[in-house]
Amino acid sequence: MWTDEQIKGKILHKLSRLGKFNHSHTAFDNLQKGFPLDVRGRVKGMGKELKKEGILMSKPTSYGEEVSINGMMKDKIIYYINKFLEME
């Protein structure tokens, strides 16, 4: 069973591998890709929580919401990624 912290960690791990920091964005709807089907329903909620925490930055566009990682939140980002990596 995935914990909330592990889901947040996988989201951040994926975005960091893709280089989605500050001015490089990806669609918010893409966050759930790569997750098991039984977890995908919780991914959007965790994405919204990451935005509230200031870890993900949102950029509204005419075709939908885009997000990127706030590089200033390094400690929290590393914490969540480590929680995800511990489960593997």
CB neighbour list of residue 49: distance below 8 Å, 6 or more residues apart: 4, 8
Give this prediction's pTM: 0.94
Cα separation, 88 vs 85, in Å, equals 6
What pLDDT shows up at residue 55?
A: 97
**Residues 5 and 86: beta-carbon distance below 8 Å:** no
Residue 28, pLDDT > 70, answer yes
Two tokens, residue 88: 């593997």
For the chain, the domain total comes to: 1
Name the residue range of residue 31's domain.
4-86
Phi, psi angles (nearest 5°) of residue 26: -140, 160
Query: CATH number, domain at 44?
Result: 1.10.10.10
pLDDT digit string (tens) for 3-12? 999 999 999 9
